[in-house]
């Protein structure tokens, strides 16, 4: 009798366990990856509202940090983003285009599943950055895919974008989009002179397309690179840190904006956004040699800056008209050092070989999957072995 009761209890337990298993909810499907790259140039042509194409931030109201600033919403990398201060208050951004354009589509990529999509986004256009006309206000959804609206074609040199409505904690924008065609030649003013960048005094010198400069003084950041008619691409060195950067200027030279990366151009290494306005202060510039900062003022020397970058990073990426001269000077001053040069095209390899440089020169195609990587890819890289 006891044995029968035991069997009945065991059978009831098995049935109860089976019922519990049936009651369990099915396993959720794998979360959709949000790390896949979206190439904005693949969506109906180039994105005009892009730092890599020469667009610039003329003004903005606020951001959470300089690492999540307005420039990160127009750097061509959808994995970087702008984020508002806490509370998601409404914000306004003004952007300049490198050339007057006829635009027929506007849009945005937001942050899906985070509750940070602004309810609406208003686009306005201007010829001079002063007088504005409304183009369209977009009502936004929480989705990964780009949200792009076709609008009656309009011409503009400046765009103003405003978030409308607040979020529970933050609002965020991954990429802003403007599609169309430029109808004038890009206008890039010289960067030569004094600027206030993120509250720090900066000084640049420019010869042709070659640019050198110093930003701040605690410790100073030295930059070296070249202008290409739309952007200025730079290598930078600050103490033990180094990397690449890109800056653009409002065609009216009212503002400067940019972004820097630590060592590698990718979203994980994206650093602070740069925002600058012209200033009038003048002071001598000094190169970053071992004793230059104690030796007194001297003209900013491109070879000295490149040598310091090469010593710290083991490589230097060269841009600008004087890049090949500087590479030749670096090789000549260290005859016992082993060097290797990587270029992106056979034409650049042939130009270097004509200089009689007795170092290996290799054509190494760039591994570029997004717009900032493509923009920075065609420099000449000198490696110290």
Reported in sequence order, the residue ranges of the chain that DSSP labels E, i.e. its strands, are: 56-60, 82-83, 92-109, 120-126, 133-139, 147-164, 172-173, 175-182, 193-197, 200-207, 210-215, 221-227, 232-238, 241-249, 256-262, 270-279, 315-318, 339-343, 361-363, 380-384
Higher pLDDT, 249 or 372: 249
**Predicted pLDDT at 33:** 38
Is the CB of residue 142 less than 8 Å from the CB of residue 115? yes
**pLDDT tens-digit map of 66-105:** 999 999 999 988 889 999 999 989 999 999 999 999 999 9
pLDDT tens sequence across 3-19: 444 444 444 443 333 44
Q: Is residue 250 pLDDT above 70, yes or no?
A: yes
pLDDT digits (tens, 9 = 90+) for 192-234: 999 999 999 999 999 999 999 999 988 999 999 999 999 999 9
In the chain, the domains with their CATH numbers are 40-182 (2.60.120.260), 193-384 (no CATH)
Q: Considering the chain, what is the average pLDDT of its residues?
A: 86
Q: Between residues 23 and 183, which one has the greater pLDDT? A: 183
| pLDDT score at 368 | 85
């Amino acid at each position: 009798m006891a044995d029968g009761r035991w069997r009945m209890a065991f059978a009831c337990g098995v049935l109860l366990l089976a019922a519990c298993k049936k009651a369990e909810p099915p396993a959720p499907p794998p979360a959709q990856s949000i790390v896949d790259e979206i190439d904005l140039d693949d969506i109906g042509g180039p994105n005009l509202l892009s730092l890599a194409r020469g667009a610039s931030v003329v003004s903005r109201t606020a951001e959470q940090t300089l690492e999540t600033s307005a420039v990160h919403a127009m750097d061509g990398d959808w994995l970087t983003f702008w984020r508002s201060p806490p509370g998601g208050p409404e914000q306004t951004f003004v952007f300049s285009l490198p050339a007057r354009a006829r635009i027929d589509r506007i849009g945005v990529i937001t942050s899906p599943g985070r509750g940070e999509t602004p309810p609406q986004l208003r686009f306005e256009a201007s010829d001079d950055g002063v007088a504005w006309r409304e183009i369209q206000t977009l009502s936004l959804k929480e989705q990964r895919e780009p949200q792009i609206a076709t609008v009656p074609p309009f011409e503009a040199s400046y765009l103003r974008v405003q978030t409308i409505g607040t979020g529970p904690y933050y609002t965020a924008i991954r990429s802003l989009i403007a599609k169309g065609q430029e109808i004038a030649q890009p206008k890039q003013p010289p960067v030569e002179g004094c600027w206030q960048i993120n509250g720090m005094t900066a000084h640049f010198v420019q010869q042709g397309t070659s640019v050198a400069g110093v930003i701040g003084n605690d410790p100073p950041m030295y930059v070296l690179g070249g202008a290409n008619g739309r952007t200025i691409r730079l290598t930078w060195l600050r103490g033990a840190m180094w990397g690449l950067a890109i800056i653009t200027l409002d065609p009216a030279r009212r503002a400067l904006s940019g972004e820097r990366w630590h060592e590698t151009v990718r979203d994980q290494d994206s650093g602070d956004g740069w925002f600058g306005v012209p200033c009038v202060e003048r002071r001598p510039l000094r190169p970053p040699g071992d004793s230059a900062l104690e030796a007194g003022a001297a003209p900013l020397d491109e070879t000295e800056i490149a040598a310091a970058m090469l010593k710290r990073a083991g490589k230097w990426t060269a841009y600008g008209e004087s890049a090949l001269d500087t590479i030749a000077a670096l090789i000549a001053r260290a005859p016992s050092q082993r060097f290797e040069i990587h270029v992106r095209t056979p034409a650049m390899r042939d130009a270097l070989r004509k200089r009689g440089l007795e170092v290996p020169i290799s054509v190494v195609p760039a591994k570029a999957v997004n717009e900032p990587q493509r923009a920075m890819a065609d420099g000449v890289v000198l490696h110290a072995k």
